[in-house]
């Protein structure tokens, strides 16, 4: 049995048993052999390693969580550990995978009809078709539920989509994009699957990013984009349905934040043992040990939180506020950890050679997407007080 991650101080991974532990170890081996060695290079060039998609597919994990697909269903704990492991290797690849499986496949699984699930999910599970999720708009983020400007107008058996989306991961090469738009007739938000090559759909790569540079985020323009009624997700009839997708994926981002913390801690720990100043390894200095223990404490506390969250998910008792607190707390602690790791590496912390610079930058994106700290805080605040502070 492979060793635990260095930062898994309380051995939470041992809660996984049998085939689930074997699956995690198989994914870990793949990430260390195929992803970690090339992560900095692709990040620096802001390119996506498309050659890895086939190898990701061969892992056989993309469709594990969906009842509509064959095979044993994993626990939420395994799904969380997989998200953590991917972010530990490369947050960009974790985001690519999360968008495809959690947001795109998750939308179809939760809101699609039986026919739609059968039409799209098998190919997406095999990663023969890659998905994207288009919700955020150029002028709308946290207020998108009430302020969505993208519209859908029905004409017979066709829907005409007009508007714009921004920050849409995978969109430059996705085969299927789940687009959320407001029905001009009843005012409700509905979901549509736009297939690659549909006239009126344009995706333009966003340049000059300083985080998650390997992720191919795009600006999407919808100009008279005609989608058949057969591609309208039958179970997506209001923003409440959209929010249900986000509740589930928000938990995954909390797990990703833990993966980033563990990676940053391990980089800093190795560096502290090897780097010498004043004739001794810097790990022998009290202030350096203080930084390391702070990092480990943040990571351990956050890992304990998401493990419990996964247990609530498997029990069917978790609520919006549980995911919201985990996302807000873990990403805040993550920002502290990557900052302390960068501090420990000093000047070497701002170059890609030592990896930590990439994690520092990528942490900023994880901190913001899937609901800002402020919005998630208000979700929890409403739950504990019974009073809404939303404008």
Residue 334: name the closest of 308, 300, 310 by CA. Answer: 300
| Residue of 251, 259, 254 whose CA lies nearest to 329 | 254
Q: How confident is the model at residue 1 (pLDDT cuts 50, 70, 90)?
A: very low
Q: What is the pLDDT of residue 257?
A: 97
Residue 145: what pLDDT? 67
What are the residues whose beta carbons fall under 8 Å from the beta carbon of 114, sequence distance 6 or more? none
What average pLDDT does the chain have?
93
Residue 232 pairs in a beta bridge with 192
Q: What is the pLDDT of residue 299?
A: 98
In angstroms, the CA 132 to CA 9 distance is 35
What separation in angstroms does the CA of 6 have from each of 12, 134, 261, 266?
12, 37, 11, 7
What's this model's pTM, rounded to 2 decimal places? 0.94
pLDDT at 250 over 90: no
Categorize the per-residue pLDDT at 2 as very low, low, confident or very high, splitting at 50, 70 and 90.
Answer: low
Q: Across residues 18-35, what is the average pLDDT? A: 95
């Amino acid at each position: 049995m492979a060793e635990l991650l260095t930062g898994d101080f309380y051995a939470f991974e041992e809660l996984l048993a049998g085939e689930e532990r074997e699956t995690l170890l198989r994914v870990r081996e793949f990430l260390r052999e195929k992803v970690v060695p090339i992560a900095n290079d692709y990040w620096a060039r802001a390119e996506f390693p498309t050659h890895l998609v086939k190898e990701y597919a061969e892992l056989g994990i993309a469709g594990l969580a969906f009842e509509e697909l064959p095979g044993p269903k994993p626990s939420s704990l395994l799904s969380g550990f997989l998200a953590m492991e991917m972010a530990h290797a490369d947050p960009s690849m974790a985001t690519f995978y999360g968008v495809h499986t959690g947001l795109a496949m998750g939308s179809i699984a939760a809101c699609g009809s039986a026919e739609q699930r059968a039409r799209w999910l098998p190919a997406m599970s095999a990663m023969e078709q890659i998905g994207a999720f288009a919700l955020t708009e150029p002028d709308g983020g946290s207020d998108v539920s009430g302020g969505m400007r993208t519209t859908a107008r029905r004409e017979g058996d066709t829907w005409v989509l007009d508007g714009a989306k921004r920050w849409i991961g995978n969109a430059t090469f996705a085969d299927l994009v789940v687009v959320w738009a407001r029905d001009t007739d009843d005012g409700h938000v509905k979901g549509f699957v736009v297939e690659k090559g549909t006239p009126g759909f344009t995706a333009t790569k966003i340049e000059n990013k300083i985080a998650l540079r390997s992720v191919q985020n795009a600006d999407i323009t919808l100009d008279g984009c005609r989608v058949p009624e057969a591609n309208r997700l039958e179970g997506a009839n209001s923003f409440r349905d959209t929010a249900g997708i986000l509740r589930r994926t928000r938990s995954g981002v909390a797990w990703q934040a833990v993966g980033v913390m563990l990676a940053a801690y391990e980089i800093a720990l190795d560096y502290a043992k090897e780097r010498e100043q004043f004739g001794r390894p810097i790990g022998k200095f009290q202030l350096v040990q203080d930084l390391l223990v702070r990092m480990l404490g943040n990571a351990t506390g956050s890992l304990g939180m998401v493990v419990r969250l996964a247990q609530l998910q498997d029990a069917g008792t978790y609520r919006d506020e549980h995911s919201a607190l985990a996302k807000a707390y873990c990403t805040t602690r993550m920002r502290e950890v990557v900052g302390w790791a960068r501090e420990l590496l000093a000047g070497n912390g701002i170059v890609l050679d030592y990896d930590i610079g990439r994690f520092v930058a990528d942490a900023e994106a994880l901190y913001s997407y899937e609901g800002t700290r402020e919005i998630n805080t208000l979700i929890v605040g409403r739950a504990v007080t019974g009073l809404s502070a939303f404008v």
